[in-house]
Amino acid sequence: MREWLIQNYPEWPILWKVVLPVVTIGIFFTCLLLCVAYLSLLERKVIGYMQVRIGPNRVGPFGLGQPIADVLKLFFKEIIFPKASNFYLFIVAPILAVAPALAVWAVVPLGEKWVFADINIGLLYILTMSSLGVYGILIAGWASNSKYALLATLRSAAQVVSYEIAMGFALVGVVMAANSLNLREIIQAQSGSILHWYMVPLFPLLIVYWISAVAETNRAPFDVVEGESEIVAGHHVEYSGTVFAAFFLAEYANMILVSSVASILFLGGWLSPFQGIPVLETWFQDVPGLIWLVIKICGFLLLFLWFRATFPRFRYDQIMRLGWKVLIPITLIWIFVVGGLQVWKVGPWFT
Amino acid sequence: MLNWLKQFLKSIAFWELLKGMRVTGRHFFVKKITIQYPEEETPKSPRFKGLHALRKYPNGEERCIACKLCEAVCPAVCITIDSDESSDGTRRTTRYDIDLFKCIYCGFCEEACPVDAIVLTSQDKYCFENQGENIMTKEKLLAIGDQFEQEIAKDREADRSYR
């Protein structure tokens, strides 16, 4: 598309320099928002099914209109600003929550060529952006001037900071194995067969990454930040209407993001699981990489929902114990193991 | 020592968590028990105690003889009865009011009634839109009795052998 524009309209550089990127970003965000909307429906359906209910099924066939109805409802609701809140910070907080959650997607490769910014520090960028997201929560809790929101803020600050360390160390293992911070190169380093994926040599890191990812997105069982039964709704207890929708969007966009990062780093991103298997490889040759990536992401998202339907909320001190005393030591040990594997050039992974 | 090792390995392998996830995972495929209300309803017992009604004999004569046993037995004191001699010389009610806001649907009035006049039908869907509609007058109760007589008779028949 870009080349075609350059060839046919060489006198209009604005077309491929501004219009095309903006349009593609627009299309991508629309898809992302739809994914978020339908993820919320999927969540209600899956949790309902696990509780032997059937979930929402009134709006449209199978309740498929439910997310649309919810979005419309949220848009038409009044935004209430508490009198004692700090108005500007109160407005800035949801923006700070949602902006990094969307900005991260710039470096996530959805296919060989399908990436907005193929930068060589992609993984670092993801880490940076996802840790910026916590400021949204912090400022929301502070600006609301409500005790519940403030409590949630304290909890989230401690939790996210603790789990970011474990998450960072888990990613260090991947970087060591792939010798690159570029997500495309990390995926290409895993090509070969399903056994080449980093989930095999880095399995403990995958587990650690996944647990910290769940904690990082403040999802059950690490949802002390929201903790409906203790502190109402946590940091967004004072938010309503569209500003609440922003927090909701950020949370679900982050869920999809950590799922895609997990599939990119550990499950070979867009690579086909049948690579290297004689007959199946040719059968599934024509399936686009995006399909495989989406399947992997959906698997991780289902895990999110499955966790939420299964586990009770962690106690605050248990969260800290798990983060500092279990996950970080495991990652540290495994980094040494990866170093060893790298030095002695073990297996198909470290050559 | 062996026990400790077993415990340690179990916790490392998330054994308990996986067991929990197996339970929820299994329930994902279990047949759903939701009753989708407006289209489906739960089965109702013939003994269901719903809206009140005053019955009549097949020849159209009111059953109620204004003995006021129901009024006396009512624990919520929601029944008010006035009685007088009717034109044919029988003892009849001139007023039979039930305050549905007070009523606790215990069914004692039905038990107390010697002539099966006041009954609780199995009607469970009714509402009041204006103030004062919660007082069921004699006319309203008789009308309900006329409307659901077949149903009432069927429910009483089904329950007869247990009484």
User: What tens digit of pLDDT does each residue of A198-255 get?
Assistant: 887 888 888 889 888 888 888 878 887 777 777 777 778 888 888 888 888 888 988 8
pLDDT digits (tens, 9 = 90+) for A106-127: 888 887 777 777 888 888 888 8
Residue A62: what pLDDT? 82
pLDDT of residue B73: 92
CB contact under 8 A, A311 and B17: yes
| Of B17, B30, B36, Cβ closest to residue A52 | B30
Q: Average per-residue pLDDT in chain B?
A: 88
**What is the mean pLDDT of the segment spanning A187-202?**
79
In this complex, the residue of B17, B27, B34 whose CB is nearest that of residue A50 is B27
* Tokens found for residue A106: 């710039």
d(CA A196, CA A92): 44
At residue B135, the 3 state secondary structure works out as: strand
Q: Is B37 on the interface with A (CB under 8 A)?
A: no
Strand intervals (E) in chain B: 52-54, 79-85, 91-99, 118-120, 135-136
Which residues of chain A have a CB within 8 Å of the CB of B36?
A: 54, 57
A46/B27 Cβ within 8 A: no
Indicate yes or no: CB of A50 within 8 angstroms of CB of B34: no
Please give the structure tokens belonging to residue B14: 């998330």
Listed residue (A267, A110, A293) closest to A197, CA to CA: A267
Nearest to A309 among B17, B24, B33 (CB): B24
Residue among B24, B30, B34 minimizing CB distance to A310: B24
pLDDT tens digits, A239-268: 888 888 888 888 898 889 999 888 888 888
CB A297 within 8 A of CB A259: yes
Burial of B40 (0-12, 13-18, 19+ CB in 10 A): exposed
The amino acid occupying position A113 is: K
Beta-carbon separation of B27 and A49 below 8 A: yes
d(CA A271, CA A268): 5
Averaged pLDDT for residues B45-52: 89
pLDDT for residue A2 is more than 70: no
* B144 has pLDDT over 70: yes
- Interface A:B, Cβ pairs < 8 A: 33
Condensed to tens digits (0 to 9), the pLDDT of residues A324-345 reads: 888 888 888 888 888 888 888 7
Is pLDDT above 70 for B25?
A: yes
Q: What percent of chain A has pLDDT over 90?
A: 0
How many whole angstroms separate alpha carbon A253 and alpha carbon A325?
29
Task: For residue B26, list chain A residues with Cβ-Cβ distance below 8 A.
Answer: none
- Candidate from A141-150, A252-261, A269-278, A300-309 with smallest mean pLDDT: A269-278
| C-beta separation of A267 from A196 below 8 A | no
Show the tokens assigned to B58.
């097949």
The two three-digit tokens of residue A263, written as one number: 């599939």
Lowest mean pLDDT among A111-120, A315-324, B126-135: A111-120
Q: How far is B144 from chain A (nearest CA, A)?
A: 33
Mean pLDDT within A308-322: 86
Under the banding of pLDDT at 50, 70 and 90, the label for residue A351 is low
Residues of A in Cβ contact (< 8 Å) with B18:
none
Contacts of A235 (CB under 8 A, 6+ apart): A137, A140, A141, A144, A149, A152, A153, A156, A225, A226, A247
Whether B11 has a pLDDT exceeding 70, the answer reads yes
Model confidence pLDDT, tens digit, residues A68-85? 888 888 888 888 888 888
Task: Say whether pLDDT at A1 is over 70.
Answer: no
- List CB contacts (< 8 A) between A309 and chain B: 24
Name the percent of chain B lying above pLDDT 70: 100
Read off the pLDDT of each residue in B129-150 and give the average, rounded to a whole number.
89
Chain A residues in contact with B27 (beta carbon < 8 A): 49-52
Q: What's the whole-model pTM score? A: 0.79
Closest CA to B136 of B82, B90, B78: B78
Q: Which residues of A touch B17 (CB under 8 A)?
A: 310-311
Of the ranges A172-176, A177-181, A342-346, B98-102, the best mean pLDDT one = B98-102
Chain B: give the shortest CA distance to residue A349, in Å: 24
